[in-house]
Structure 1
Amino acid sequence: MDSTVLRGAAVVDGTGRPAEPADVLISGDRIAAIAGPGSIPTDGVSRVLDLSGLTVMPGFIDSHAHSDNAALLDYTDASKTAQGVTTEINGNCGFTLAPRAAENIEGFQSLVRRIFPEHDWCWSTYPQFLEHIAEAGLPTNFASLIGHNTLRIAAMGLEERPPSLQERHIMRRELDEALAAGAVGLSTGLVYPPGVYSRTQEIVELASALPATAVYASHMRNEGQHLRRSIDETLSVAEQAGVRCHLSHLKVADRRQWGAMAEVVEGLHHHRAAGVHITQDVYPYTAASTMLTALLPPWMHAGGTRPLLERLRSAGCREQIRAQIADPTADFENYALAAGWENIVVSSSGTQRYDGASLAQIAHLRGQDPVDALADLLIEEELRATMIMHIMAEEDLQRALADPQTMIGSDGLPQGTGGRPHPRAFGSFTRVLDVYVRQRGLLELEEAVRRMTSLVADTFCLPGRGRVREGHFADLVAVDLEGLEDRATYAEPQAPPRGIEHVWLNGEPVVDSGRPTRRRAGRVLRARH
Structure 2
Amino acid sequence: MTHTLIAGAIIADGEIIGDHPQDVLLLNGHIERIAPPGSFDHLGAIPRVDAAGLLLTPGFIDTHAHSDHTPLMAEDDTSKIMQGVTTEVNGNCGFSLAPIATDFESDYASLVRRIFPSFRHDWRSFAEYLQELRRGEFVTNFATLLGHNTIRIAAMGTENRQPDEAELQAMEQLVDQALEHGVAGLSTGLIYPPGVFSETPEVVRLARRLPRDAVYSSHMRNESRFLLRSLAETVEVAEAAGVRCHVSHLKLADLRRAGEMSTALDYLADRRASGVRITQDIYPYTAASTMLSALLPPWMHDGGSVALLRRLGSAAELERAARDVADASLDFENYALQAGWENVVIASTGSHRFEGESLASIANRLGLQPVEAVGRILVEEELQATMIVHAMAEEDVRTALADPRTMIGTDGLPAGTGGRPHPRAFGSFPRVLQHYVAEEGVLTLQEAIRRMTALPAEVFGLTGRGRVLEGYAADLVLLSPGDIVDHATFADPMRRPSGVRDVFVNGVRVVEAGTWTGRRAGGFLRAGH
TM surpasses 0.5:
yes
Structure 1 residue 482: deviation in Å?
2.1
Label 1:19 to 1:190 Cα distance change in 2 as closer, same or farther (>3 A).
Answer: farther
Q: Which residue of 2 aligns with 1:389?
A: 389
Distance 2:410 2:45 in 1: 36
Secondary structure of the residue aligned to 2:186 is strand
Q: Which residue of 2 aligns with 1:338?
A: 338
Q: Which runs of 4+ in 1 moved over 3 A?
A: 16-20
Secondary structure of the residue aligned to 1:228 is helix
Structure 1 residue 528: deviation in Å?
4.1
1:42–1:48 Cα contact (<8 Å) kept: no
2:10–2:18 Cα contact (<8 Å) kept: no
**Does structure 1 residue 254 correspond to structure 2 residue 254?**
yes
Secondary structure of the residue aligned to 2:43 is coil
Secondary structure of the residue aligned to 1:504 is strand
1:286–1:397 Cα contact (<8 Å) kept: yes
Distance 1:18 1:189 in 2: 40
Q: Which residue of 2 aligns with 1:370?
A: 370
Output one character per residue of 1:128-163: Cα deviation in whole Å (capped at 9) or x when no partner: 111111221111100000000000000001010000
Q: Which residue of 1 aligns with 2:319?
A: 319
Q: Which residue of 1 aligns with 2:131?
A: 131
Q: Which runs of 5+ in 2 are unaligned?
A: none
2:158–2:193 Cα contact (<8 Å) kept: yes
Distance 1:493 1:273 in 2: 40
Q: How does 1:322-471 map to 2 (within 5 A)?
A: 322-471=322-471
Secondary structure of the residue aligned to 1:290 is strand
Distance 1:288 1:423 in 2: 11
Structure 1 residue 241: deviation in Å?
1.4
Give 2:312's aligned amino acid: L
2:286–2:392 Cα contact (<8 Å) kept: yes
Q: How does 1:132-211 map to 2 (within 5 A)?
A: 132-211=132-211
2:221–2:230 Cα contact (<8 Å) kept: yes
Structure 1 residue 2: deviation in Å?
2.2
Secondary structure of the residue aligned to 1:154 is helix
1:61–1:88 Cα contact (<8 Å) kept: yes
Output one character per residue of 1:181-231: Cα deviation in whole Å (capped at 9) or x when no partner: 100000000010000000000000001111012110000000001000000
Distance 1:380 1:42 in 2: 67
Secondary structure of the residue aligned to 1:134 is helix
1:60–1:84 Cα contact (<8 Å) kept: yes
Structure 1 residue 17: deviation in Å?
4.7
Q: Which residue of 2 aligns with 1:106?
A: 106
Count residues with an aligned counterpart. 529
Q: Which residue of 2 aligns with 1:518?
A: 518
2:227–2:252 Cα contact (<8 Å) kept: yes
Structure 1 residue 27: deviation in Å?
1.2
Structure 1 residue 40: deviation in Å?
2.6
Output one character per residue of 1:405-445: Cα deviation in whole Å (capped at 9) or x when no partner: 00000000000000000000001111111111111111111
**Does structure 1 residue 279 correspond to structure 2 residue 292?**
no
Secondary structure of the residue aligned to 1:236 is helix
Secondary structure of the residue aligned to 1:451 is helix
Output one character per residue of 1:483-508: Cα deviation in whole Å (capped at 9) or x when no partner: 21110110110100001100000001
Secondary structure of the residue aligned to 2:234 is helix
Distance 1:424 1:167 in 2: 37
Give 2:276's aligned amino acid: V
Label 1:446 to 1:42 Cα distance change in 2 as closer, same or farther (>3 A).
Answer: farther
Give 2:397's aligned amino acid: L
**Does structure 1 residue 503 correspond to structure 2 residue 513?**
no
Query: After the TM superposition, which of the residue ranges 204-213 and 10-19 deviates more from structure 2?
Result: 10-19
Secondary structure of the residue aligned to 1:482 is helix
Q: Which residue of 2 aligns with 1:245?
A: 245
Q: Which residue of 2 aligns with 1:293?
A: 293
Distance 1:3 1:365 in 2: 62
**Does structure 1 residue 24 correspond to structure 2 residue 24?**
yes
1:4–1:45 Cα contact (<8 Å) kept: no
Structure 1 residue 103: deviation in Å?
0.3
Distance 2:408 2:213 in 1: 21
Distance 1:74 1:242 in 2: 41
Q: Which residue of 2 aligns with 1:118?
A: 118
Structure 1 residue 395: deviation in Å?
0.4
Structure 1 residue 39: deviation in Å?
2.3
Distance 2:207 2:306 in 1: 32
Secondary structure of the residue aligned to 2:21 is strand
Label 1:491 to 1:146 Cα distance change in 2 as closer, same or farther (>3 A).
Answer: same
Distance 2:107 2:238 in 1: 28
Label 1:368 to 1:79 Cα distance change in 2 as closer, same or farther (>3 A).
Answer: same
Q: Which residue of 1 aligns with 2:7?
A: 7
Distance 1:41 1:202 in 2: 60
Query: After the TM superposition, which of the residue ranges 57-66 and 482-491 deviates more from structure 2?
Result: 482-491
Structure 1 residue 28: deviation in Å?
1.6
Output one character per residue of 1:231-265: Cα deviation in whole Å (capped at 9) or x when no partner: 01011111111111100000000111111101111
1:186–1:207 Cα contact (<8 Å) kept: yes
Label 1:18 to 1:5 Cα distance change in 2 as closer, same or farther (>3 A).
Answer: closer
Q: Which residue of 1 aligns with 2:270?
A: 270
Distance 2:210 2:43 in 1: 49
Distance 1:316 1:342 in 2: 24
1:3–1:47 Cα contact (<8 Å) kept: yes
Q: Which residue of 2 aligns with 1:46?
A: 46
2:82–2:516 Cα contact (<8 Å) kept: yes
Distance 1:75 1:143 in 2: 20
Give 1:57's aligned amino acid: T
Give 1:98's aligned amino acid: A
Distance 1:388 1:326 in 2: 20
Label 1:42 to 1:64 Cα distance change in 2 as closer, same or farther (>3 A).
Answer: farther
Structure 1 residue 36: deviation in Å?
1.6
Structure 1 residue 330: deviation in Å?
1.0
Secondary structure of the residue aligned to 1:280 is strand
Q: How does 1:210-249 map to 2 (within 5 A)?
A: 210-249=210-249
Give 2:421's aligned amino acid: P
TM-score (normalised: structure 2): 0.99
Give 2:442's aligned amino acid: L
Distance 1:115 1:215 in 2: 24
Q: Which residue of 2 aligns with 1:302?
A: 302
Distance 1:259 1:42 in 2: 59
